[in-house]
Amino acid sequence: MALPNSPKICFRASDSEAAQAASRVLKARYAHVPLAEADVVVALGGDGLMLDTLHQRTGLPVYGMNCGTIGFLMNDYAEDGLPERVAAAEEAVINPLAMRAGTADGDVHEALAINDVSVLRAGPQAAKLRISVNGKERMAELVCDGAIVCTPAGSTAYNYSAHGPILPIGADVLALTAVAAFRPRRWRGAILPKNATVRFDVLEPEKRPVMADADGRSVRPVLWVEIRSEPTISHRILFENGHGLAERLMREQFV
C-alpha cells in the first residue's frame, strides 16, 4: 500500500542519548502524531529498536534511521526531507518465525522472531540435539554449542557470524545453521523450504541443559523446540529508494 506524499509520522526512539536527541530535533521539525493516527512509524535507534517496533504488530510500515551501532535494518540518519524520503521508500514485507518450546514442567512457551530462533547450550557442556524436519528425523545427534533457524532478513545476523549462508530476500527458504558443531564436525547446516517445520529434541537435558531464544526472548531449560515460518503475520520495513533489503543482502556478500 503506497504512502501519501506527506505521511503522518509517529516517532519512536530508543533510550540512547543519540536517539533521544534525534527524536527531539525531528519532532520539533516535523509533525509527530499518536500511533493511532499515523501512516508510518519512524524508529530512531539500532536494529534492536527496529525488531522491538516490528514486534508491536501495529500493521504500519516502519522506517528506521540508525542512531545505534550496526543498524542493518536501518537507513542512514538524515534530517532533511524526511516525509519525502519516507513516501518514496521501498517496502520489504517479511514473515516472522513462530517458536514453540517445551520445558520439563510441562509448559509450552510461544514467541515470534523476525530474525532467528537459536537453540543454545545453557551450561558448560556441549548440547546434544536431535533434528527433525516435517516430522521426519534428519539427524539423530548433533553435538554443538547450538543451532540457528533464520529468515532471509535475519541471515546476516547471528546466522552469518556462525558461517551460515546469506539468503536473498523473497526466497522461500530458511537457513538451519550449526553453531560450533563438534559432531558431525564439518556439518554447517541446511537450506530448508519456507514451509518446513524444524524440531529440536534435547538429548541428555539434565547433563547438557539447553535454552531457546527468539529475537532475545529466552526460554530455559527446554526439552524440545519447534520452529516454522508464520505466513499469517507480515512485517513492513521501509528502506531508502535504491537501498532496499534485497540490495543490502546482495552487498553484504561482497564485503
The average pLDDT across 218-230 equals 97
For residue 220, give the C-alpha cell. 530455559
Query: Does residue 59 surpass a pLDDT of 90?
Result: yes
Residues 110-168 have pLDDT tens digits of 999 999 999 999 999 999 999 999 999 999 999 999 999 999 989 989 999 999 999 98
Query: Does residue 4 surpass a pLDDT of 70?
Result: yes
- B/e letters for 9-18, b = 16+ CB within 10 Å, e = fewer, are bbbbbbebeb
52 is catalytic: no
Q: Which one of 47, 116, 201, 215 is the catalytic residue?
A: 47
- What is the pLDDT, as a whole number, of residue 1? 65
pTM to 2 decimal places: 0.89
- Helix, strand, or coil here: 110? strand
The average pLDDT across 172-188 equals 93
